[in-house]
Structure 1
Amino acid sequence: MSLRFGYGTNGFGSHRLDDALAVIAGLGYDGVALTVDHPHMDPFAPNLSARTIAVGQRLAELDLAVVIETGARYVLDPWRKHEPNLVSDAGRERRVDLLCRAVRIGAELGAEAVSFWSGTLPGGVSADEGWRRVTSGVASVLEEADKRGMICAFEPEPGMFVDTVAGVLELRKRLGDPEGLRVTLDVGHVVANEAGTVADCVHQAGDLLANVQVDDMVEGVHEHLEFGEGEVDLPAALGALLDVGYGGLAAVELPRHGHAAPVVARRSLDALRAAEAEALATRTGHDGGERGRARAVRQRDGEEEMP
């Protein structure tokens, strides 16, 4: 198998959405991570349904798959970044409303997943109260998603209440392990915040992995960097995705690089393709042949589903 690469529209903030999609497709990407935000797909502007239909038609023309991202910084509050969120003291219902709008947009576009996160717990609020808030909010979003057949993918974010893959798994457990709630993994976040490697986290998420973001970072610093500028072992990261049979998009997440978006997007795809080739060569050279034959036997005998 091979991986499917995408690029986040939040890295094309200086482009019109139609132009950004054309550039991303023209470079050879398989899809886009579409952030619902005012520069592109404003979820609160008039004629949302008509605009969504038009974007869907454009995605189809360009043969681009899509996931929906909801990390817009100031879409709800022009003064406070990422506020209100699912664990805020007030206004949590506004975040739930935004996420439900994203679910409806995703359903209209045939998106593979809608990705979101918890937000940062205010000072003085207990962890028990944080869990109560986030589970309540996510349950409301899942209700909307279930109606529309959408997959929700929860992202652990450094500095937020739910900040690790283990935290996402705990959230799922508290909600009764719903089928429609899965995991978003940002490989850079692993280096910045997780105790284990990218491979550890990929295998920890396993078949719950529904959305992947790719970028570079350094340990302890939540700053999205181009590949090669941080400490992410990109071939190893992509190799782990291949190991678990991940079939979703792996979309570049560089929201602060819009000033040079086409150039950065081209460099990023070159780096991803080179890293994937290295990962595939390593797998084949070491044990890929035997692994592939064993997998084929299991699939033939009905012991393992095709990815």
Structure 2
Amino acid sequence: MKYSFSTNAFRKYDIQAAIKAIAALGYSGVEIMCDIPHAYPPLTSAKTRKEIARVVKELGISIANLNAFMLYAIGDTWHPSFIEKEEHKRRQRIEHTINCLYLAKDLEAKSISIEPGGPVIGVDREWAMGAFLEAISELTPIAEKLKVDVLIEPEPDLLIETSGQFLKLMEKVDSPAVKLNFDIGHFYCAFEDPARLVHQLAPYTGHYHLEDIAPSRVHRHLIPGEGAIDLKAVLAAIEYSGYDGFITAELYPYEDRPIEAASQALQYLTNKKE
């Protein structure tokens, strides 16, 4: 099992300091946030991209994934989304995603993770699904050319929340470059059993996000072991499935104590069988 940690918990650190801290804790991978203050593509020069690649190589770790979900540089976690009413806002999200694909190519990352459409606010759900599929159809030729996968990440209260909705969406997507970012906590929030979903979704899964969630199933990421998910069962299912990619601990609510959160998460993950 290969574990990585997302830099979105290290928003008070610059990107190189975040990567170094994650490597020093013992993680073998890092997920890089494609947003301020880390690697927002328009602000990440060719020189900075080379520096990031150099640091990662020197530390002997890998880039597990690029997180293209959050977009505080021009909005917030979800906005602008792929399903905004205003066309120019939809274009902003699409252009950002394209930029992230090229950043991934430069950093030799194999995938980027994206929001599953966005919040369905002020638009018809059927129209929103069409808008999202239209965006995906624009992204896929670029992803295929660059050999970078686009991973859709279902999330509570967004267009795609459940495994069933994701699978239905994939019936309309004709590209091997479009896959799933399997967020364990998100499926739990949607009242699904992540351990049971691992096998069903394995053909689509390109990367995992891991966090714990309270028994209430309220969507707030917790350090593994502090919530109600049977993470040991989920990890056992992942291992049994033969998945050989990274599992990334994503604990962005802990930006005031990211070292502590990352350390506790890795301790839990490496002792999961005890």
| TM-score range for the pair, normalised by the shorter chain length | over 0.9
- Structure 1 pair 21–148 and aligned structure 2 pair: CA distance change class (3 A): same
Instruction: Name the counterpart of 2:194.
Output: 198
Which of these residues, 217, 220, 225, is aligned with residue 220 of structure 1? 217
Report sequence identity in percent: 24
Q: Is the 8 A contact 1:191 1:231 kept in 2?
A: no
Equivalent-residue separation in structure 2 for 1:165 and 1:184 (angstroms) = 11
Instruction: Name the counterpart of 1:231.
Output: 228
Q: Is the 8 A contact 1:116 1:155 kept in 2?
A: yes
TM-score (norm 1): 0.84
Aligned amino acid, residue 247 of structure 1: D
Instruction: Name the counterpart of 2:269.
Output: 272
Instruction: Name the counterpart of 2:257.
Output: 260
Partner deviation per Cα, 1:208-245 (whole Å, 9 max, x = no partner): 21010110012431100112221111111101111111
Q: How does 1:238-257 map to 2 (within 5 A)?
A: 238-257=235-254
Which of these residues, 6, 24, 29, is aligned with residue 31 of structure 1? 29
Instruction: Name the counterpart of 1:49.
Output: 46
Higher helix share: 1
* SS across alignment from 2:78: coil
Equivalent-residue separation in structure 1 for 2:69 and 2:261 (angstroms) = 20
Aligned amino acid, residue 25 of structure 1: A
Q: Is the 8 A contact 1:112 1:248 kept in 2?
A: no
Equivalent-residue separation in structure 1 for 2:41 and 2:194 (angstroms) = 33
Equivalent-residue separation in structure 2 for 1:128 and 1:156 (angstroms) = 17
Q: Where in structure 2 are there 5+ consecutive unaligned residues? A: none
* Alpha-carbon shift at residue 73 of structure 1 (Å): 4.4
* SS across alignment from 2:252: coil
Partner deviation per Cα, 1:99-158 (whole Å, 9 max, x = no partner): 0111111111111211101211123x2222111100011111112111101111110011
Q: Is the 8 A contact 1:198 1:240 kept in 2?
A: no
Q: How many residues align?
A: 269
Partner deviation per Cα, 1:259-285 (whole Å, 9 max, x = no partner): 11112111110001111x34xxxxxxx
Q: Where in structure 1 are there 5+ consecutive unaligned residues? A: 279-307
Aligned amino acid, residue 100 of structure 1: I
Q: Is the 8 A contact 1:68 1:115 kept in 2?
A: yes
Instruction: Name the counterpart of 2:85.
Output: 89
- Structure 1 pair 73–100 and aligned structure 2 pair: CA distance change class (3 A): closer
Aligned residues: CA RMSD: 1.4
Equivalent-residue separation in structure 2 for 1:211 and 1:141 (angstroms) = 19
* Alpha-carbon shift at residue 172 of structure 1 (Å): 1.8
Equivalent-residue separation in structure 2 for 1:82 and 1:141 (angstroms) = 18
* Alpha-carbon shift at residue 82 of structure 1 (Å): 1.9
* SS across alignment from 1:221: coil
Equivalent-residue separation in structure 1 for 2:150 and 2:67 (angstroms) = 10
Instruction: Name the counterpart of 1:112.
Output: 110
* Alpha-carbon shift at residue 164 of structure 1 (Å): 1.6
Q: Structure 1 residue 163 and structure 2 residue 161: aligned?
A: yes
* Alpha-carbon shift at residue 248 of structure 1 (Å): 1.2
Q: Structure 1 residue 151 and structure 2 residue 161: aligned?
A: no
* SS across alignment from 1:170: helix
Structure exhibiting the larger radius of gyration computed from Cα positions: 1
* Alpha-carbon shift at residue 70 of structure 1 (Å): 1.4
Which of these residues, 148, 164, 173, is aligned with residue 175 of structure 1? 173
- Structure 1 pair 222–15 and aligned structure 2 pair: CA distance change class (3 A): same
Aligned amino acid, residue 22 of structure 2: I
Aligned amino acid, residue 211 of structure 1: H
